Amino acid sequence: MSAGELPCYTLIHVPSDAELPSETQLKEKFEKGGDKERTEALKKLIYMILNGEKTSQSMLMYVIRFCLPSNDHTLKKTLLIFWECVPKTDSNGKLLHEMILVCDAYRKDLQHPNEFVRGSTLRFLCKLREPELLEPLMPAIRACLEHRHSYVRRNAVCAIFTIYKNFEFLIPDAPELVTEYLETEQDASCKRNAFMMLLHVDQARALDYLSGCIDQVGSFGDILQLVIVELIYKVCHSNPNECSRFIRCVYNLLQSQSPAVRYEAAGTLVTLTNAPAAVKAAASAYIELIVKESDNNVKLIVLDRLVALSNTSSNEKVLQGLVMDILRVLTSPGLEVRKKTLNLALDLVSSRNVEDMVMFLKKEINKTSNESNDENGKYRQELVKTLHTATLKFPDVASTIVPVLMEFLSDTNEIAAQYVIQFVREAVHKLPNLKSAILASLREGIPAIQTPNIFMSALWVLATFCDAEGSLEVLRLIKNSLGDLPIVDSELAEQEEPKAEEVEQKKVPSGPKVTADGTYATQTALSTTVVSKKNVKPPLRRFLLNGEFFLGAALATVLTKLAQKFTELNGEGTERSNRFRAECMLILASIIHLAKSGLISHQVNEDDLDRMGAVIKILAQGIPGLDEQYGDDCKKSLEMMLSAKSISRLDAADKLTSSGSARSKDFVEIDKTINFTQLLAKNNQQGENLYDSSLSQALGTAQKDTKFDFSSSKLGKVIQLAGFSDPIYAEAYVNVNQYDIVLDVLIVNQTADTLQNVSLELATVGDLKLVDKPTPVTLAPNDFSNIKATVKVASTENGVIFSTISYDVRGSTSDRNCVYLQDIKIDIMDYIVPGNITDIEFRQMWSDFEWENKVNVMTPIRDLREFLNHLSTSTNMKVLTGDAAIEGECGFLAANLCAHSIFGEDALANVSVEKALPMDDSSPIVGHIRIRAKSQGMCLTLGDKLSSAMRSRRDGQPIAAPSA
């Protein structure tokens, strides 16, 4: 058996600076040292064996002579590790003669009066794979089942279990022996080990035992209850007819005191039956676990189980009645837990309980309004978003939700206010019966708005959706928000006037005074206080004085809409219409005067001035056909945008469904085979065994999900490391898992000599860490071997692995030979998946991220959409800008992209490109790509990837420039 095939149970860290002594020094310490020195020497010997150092046969005898007789517990424990690591057979596979002495020492330790020594030895025997060593020890192992101490008994059961599983001929009556032992045992841990053994080797006996004590399962310890749940699951999974026999037991275990037992029992219950009562009981158990468990990671895991439970249509109907119970999870402090809970409640809510849900969320909003930390602000955004979606899903409750959301217009958290104004825009458009109530609430709340963007959006909604009679009222609202006109004159007059002061007078009584004739008198003093009168400016005027002149350009559009509606009502050319237009022109002229007056330090954008000037001209002279552009066409554009958003939401839901994480179970292919339970063979297992699948995932042997496999072929991951003329040819298959990289290196001896101590030396650059040192091998002439090495990955950065192969030639007296191998470059794309965020979240993250990388566009591609799609597919970044926004040919293109890494990092990109000559299809594309990320490494690495992607196709070949 080669070194790579030897069983390994203990991982020992060998310090890189450890100084390993010579054999002579070790022998001297074993012979003349005390127990402490012998323990240290034994540890150094273990390090040498693990590093592949060759030790003489006499070293084994020194350990047997001087270490085995010791009664020191630390030395005995270290000896057990040594016997696990040391080779016990010779080159022919026969047991070494010295191991007979070791076997006798094992037997004495199994009869040792100290329970720790006995138990440790029994645990060590579980790791032995030599039946010749185990056979003489079987009577002593059996005797340990009757030891007074539970530590010895439970390890004796484990030893019998592993020996029976590996070498059944050594103890053929193990199931009967353990069954008899289980009937009399009282200790919970011993009963658990014994029942676990019967579960794996003789399920019939385990079921017989469980049937005899099924009414007492609730009083068992949690470790035994967990094994009972596993047994019931496996038995019922292989034989569904047994479900009715044990399902009551699983029901009872839902009331266990242990959270782990309740979690496993709930998962087992819903896999055994789809009865509504069972689904409701399991879901209630999950909810109780989430509410009472303090660890957020546990909450998220159990929430995922609850979400998976709701993915089936039959279960969804049952869970709809538990929406209010699910909302109890919102008491948890974690934002991720709250977000997932709100999404789940939103999916399950129905018309019967949506009003209760809205009232609960209103209370949550009131709780968050008292605190202003960042976590509460984000939670408030999620609450507003949930109420927004609930209103569109159930329009009947909109009248209840609108007053609650309107309070957020004055919130200092701009993102929450943006969600509200988007809700108002969509609700006014889609719910005409609530239009008047929403607009009235908006008019009342607009003076309290704190942010200019929200203020302007609210004015736009009022101007777009108000009727002709209400246009005059909106104009009055705008004038009140601006204050006295013209703005410049009123500001200068205010600065020249002395500040008004109020004098507040109040009498301050003092204590009693003694007059000249000896009588008492009371004296009062008049106190005057000068109080400055603070001048609070209206909101729109305050925004303009702060330099927000884009509001003026947007206000020009609003005034044009109002003037158009007022003219339609009163007729064109009438005195009232002309007066209305004159008021609008005065407002815009006053804003332009303020921008050019130098009264404020901010520079105005020329585009804003041009826009306001053009609107003044439109208001004065009028342009035929422009009224339709500002009126009906504007509403049609809004309707198209809202439709595109709803379609994108449906597409995202469809992708989620097709990925298997949503309601894929509800969609059945028309030609799918129907399975009849009554006609299935008893040994036919339905579905996937959850215990086996979770174990394979933990071991890394589970089949990888296709969404994480970005390579179209495994051959694309094979890298040639050495040349065909080198003495040793090498190539590596790079298998990238989520957090580690497995290098499977094939080495071929191309010489006629035997190569000894062929070692693969690895060194890494970047956030890569070598886990273990590959074991040296020996290659016969023209022989080959595979060497595996694991590298851990810590962040999303390009990494490089350098490697060399060193070897000795048998019979040669020359120095050690070395072959330098090709560098292995780790691609960042193996850790990046497409991201999906909203436009508001994109803007927030764009302003928060510290690192930016600007990449100039240089590509032979001539089509803008083709270039964008090529960037998206080459970098695994999702295009966030909708197709409706980038369709058509206009000579330029701007789009946002997003990606997430498996390490929790986000990367954003903004593509701004145009044709050098818009009318010429063959003209090159010019522009730039800006990348922002939280870490410098990801920002730079993604920039390099984009640069290389612009110059090559997806298959890595250069793009041929089109002929002129």
Domain check: are 822 and 834 in the same one?
no
Higher pLDDT, 279 or 391: 279
Domain check: are 135 and 73 in the same one?
no
Higher pLDDT, 140 or 50: 140
Please tell me the total count of domains within the chain.
5
Q: Which of 258, 257, 203, 211 is nearest to 230 (CA)?
A: 203
Collapsing DSSP to helix, strand or coil, 899 comes out as strand
Q: Which of 589, 506, 512 is nearest to 555 (CA)?
A: 589
Collapsing DSSP to helix, strand or coil, 853 comes out as strand
Residue 668 confidence (pLDDT): 56
Domain check: are 819 and 837 in the same one?
no
Mean pLDDT along residues 810-817: 72
Asked if pLDDT for residue 700 goes beyond 60, the answer is: no
> Using CA atoms, how far apart are residues 84 and 38, in angstroms rounded to an integer?
18
Largest distance between two CA atoms of the chain: 134
Asked if pLDDT for residue 733 goes beyond 60, the answer is: yes
Please say which residue of 60, 87, 114 terminates a domain.
Answer: 87
Query: Taking the CB of residue 315, how many other CB atoms lie within 10 A of it?
Result: 21
Asked if pLDDT for residue 287 goes beyond 80, the answer is: yes
Q: Which of 800, 790, 798 is nearest to 739 (CA)?
A: 790
Q: Is residue 357 part of a domain?
A: no
H helices within 222-275, ranges in order? 222-238, 243-253, 259-272
Residue 333's pLDDT band, with cuts at 50, 70 and 90, is confident
> Using CA atoms, how far apart are residues 216 and 209, in angstroms rounded to an integer?
11
Domain check: are 802 and 907 in the same one?
no
Domain check: are 842 and 915 in the same one?
yes
Higher pLDDT, 669 or 131: 131
Domain check: are 565 and 461 in the same one?
yes
Average pLDDT for the chain: 77
Mean pLDDT along residues 868-873: 85
Q: Which contiguous run of DSSP H or E holds residue 203?
A: helix 203-212
The 8-class DSSP code of residue 682 comes to: T
Query: Taking the CB of residue 748, how many other CB atoms lie within 10 A of it?
Result: 17
Mean pLDDT along residues 589-599: 81
Q: Which domain holds residue 754?
A: 718-826
Type of residue numbered 71? N
Asked if pLDDT for residue 814 goes beyond 80, the answer is: no
Give the 3-state secondary structure percentages of the chain, helix then strand then coil, rounded to 5. Answer: 55, 15, 30
Prior bond of 486 cis (ω within 30°): yes
CATH number for 885: 3.30.310.10
Residue 798 confidence (pLDDT): 67
Asked if pLDDT for residue 245 goes beyond 60, the answer is: yes
Render pLDDT for 399-438 as a digit per residue (tens, 0 to 9).
Answer: 777 777 777 777 666 677 777 777 777 777 777 777 787 7
Residue 957's pLDDT band, with cuts at 50, 70 and 90, is very low
Asked if pLDDT for residue 661 goes beyond 60, the answer is: no
> Using CA atoms, how far apart are residues 312 and 29, in angstroms rounded to an integer?
68
| Residue appearing with tokens 């047997």 | 64
Collapsing DSSP to helix, strand or coil, 10 comes out as coil
> Using CA atoms, how far apart are residues 608 and 615, in angstroms rounded to an integer?
11
> Using CA atoms, how far apart are residues 886 and 117, in angstroms rounded to an integer?
75
CATH number for 799: 2.60.40.1480
Mean pLDDT along residues 711-729: 76
Asked if pLDDT for residue 915 goes beyond 70, the answer is: yes
Please say which residue of 188, 206, 224 terminates a domain.
Answer: 206
Angle between helices 575-596 and 471-482 (to 10 degrees): 30
Q: Is residue 707 part of a domain?
A: no
Q: Any idea what the Cα angle at residue 396 is, between residues 393 and 397, rounded to 5°?
A: 85
Distant-in-sequence, close-in-space partners of 370: CB < 8 Å, separation ≥ 6? none
Residue 498 confidence (pLDDT): 53
| Residue appearing with tokens 């010579």 | 22
- What Rg value do the Cα atoms of the chain yield, rounded? 39
Asked if 896 contacts 838 with a C-beta cutoff of 8 angstroms, the reply is no
Distant-in-sequence, close-in-space partners of 246: CB < 8 Å, separation ≥ 6? 210, 214, 232, 235, 236
Higher pLDDT, 432 or 289: 289
Cβ-based burial of 624 (10 A; exposed 0-12, middle 13-18, buried ≥19): exposed
> Using CA atoms, how far apart are residues 795 and 189, in angstroms rounded to an integer?
41
Q: Is residue 617 part of a domain?
A: yes
CA dihedral sign of residues 627, 632, 635, 636 = negative
Asked if 783 contacts 747 with a C-beta cutoff of 8 angstroms, the reply is no
Least confident of 761-765, 801-805, 851-855: 761-765
Query: Taking the CB of residue 921, how many other CB atoms lie within 10 A of it?
Result: 11
Pairing of strands 740-749, 728-736: antiparallel
Domain check: are 881 and 919 in the same one?
yes
Q: Is residue 296 part of a domain?
A: no
Residue 2 confidence (pLDDT): 41
φ and ψ at residue 858, rounded to 5 degrees: -140, 105
**CA 418 → CA 322, 422, 451, 812, distances in Å?**
31, 6, 10, 78
**CA 285 → CA 159, 690, 771, distances in Å?**
36, 19, 40
Asked if pLDDT for residue 817 goes beyond 50, the answer is: yes
Residue 685 confidence (pLDDT): 40
Q: Is residue 155 part of a domain?
A: yes
Render pLDDT for 116-164 as a digit per residue (tens, 0 to 9).
Answer: 888 888 888 888 888 888 888 888 888 888 888 888 988 999 999 989 9
Render pLDDT for 672-691 as a digit per residue (tens, 0 to 9).
Answer: 666 565 554 443 344 455 66
Asked if pLDDT for residue 266 goes beyond 70, the answer is: yes
Residue 567 confidence (pLDDT): 79
> Using CA atoms, how far apart are residues 835 and 897, in angstroms rounded to an integer?
8
Angle between helices 276-292 and 243-253 (to 10 degrees): 30
Please say which residue of 604, 630, 651 terminates a domain.
Answer: 651
Residue 659 confidence (pLDDT): 40
End-to-end CA distance of the chain, in Å?
66
Tokens, residue 256: 């266990």
Residue 664's pLDDT band, with cuts at 50, 70 and 90, is very low
Residue 52's pLDDT band, with cuts at 50, 70 and 90, is low
Asked if pLDDT for residue 712 goes beyond 50, the answer is: no
Q: Is residue 188 part of a domain?
A: yes
Tally of helices (H runs) and strands (E runs) in the chain: 39, 18
Asked if 462 contacts 421 with a C-beta cutoff of 8 angstroms, the reply is no
Give per-residue burial for 19-47: e unless 16+ CB within 10 Å, then b.
eeeebeebbebbeeeeeeebbebbeebbb
CATH number for 138: 1.25.10.10
Residue 690 confidence (pLDDT): 61
Percent of the chain topping pLDDT 90: 1
Domain check: are 806 and 847 in the same one?
no
Least confident of 481-485, 621-625, 798-802: 621-625
Tokens, residue 474: 């909106």
Residue 343 confidence (pLDDT): 87
Domain check: are 725 and 769 in the same one?
yes
> Using CA atoms, how far apart are residues 583 and 589, in angstroms rounded to an integer?
10
Domain check: are 821 and 733 in the same one?
yes
Render pLDDT for 634-657 as a digit per residue (tens, 0 to 9).
Answer: 767 777 777 666 665 555 544 444
Q: Which of 597, 127, 575, 642 is nearest to 428 (CA)?
A: 642
Residue 363 confidence (pLDDT): 82
Residue 614 confidence (pLDDT): 82
Q: Is residue 806 part of a domain?
A: yes
> Using CA atoms, how far apart are residues 359 and 357, in angstroms rounded to an integer?
5
Q: Which of 254, 339, 267 is nearest to 308 (CA)?
A: 267
> Using CA atoms, how far apart are residues 276 and 278, in angstroms rounded to an integer?
5
In total, the chain counts a number of residues equal to 964
Asked if 333 contacts 368 with a C-beta cutoff of 8 angstroms, the reply is no
Q: Which of 432, 431, 457 is nearest to 445 (CA)?
A: 457
| Residue appearing with tokens 């065994």 | 689
Higher pLDDT, 163 or 498: 163
Higher pLDDT, 301 or 600: 301
Q: Is residue 605 part of a domain?
A: yes
Mean pLDDT along residues 830-844: 80
Query: Taking the CB of residue 462, how many other CB atoms lie within 10 A of it?
Result: 24
Domain check: are 646 and 730 in the same one?
no
Which of 147-161, 272-286, 763-777, 809-823 holds the top average pLDDT?
147-161
Residue 679 confidence (pLDDT): 55
Q: What's the number of CA atoms in the CB half-sphere (13 Å) around residue 394?
A: 21
Domain check: are 74 and 139 in the same one?
no
| Residue appearing with tokens 């965020």 | 837
> Using CA atoms, how far apart are residues 479 and 181, in angstroms rounded to an integer?
92
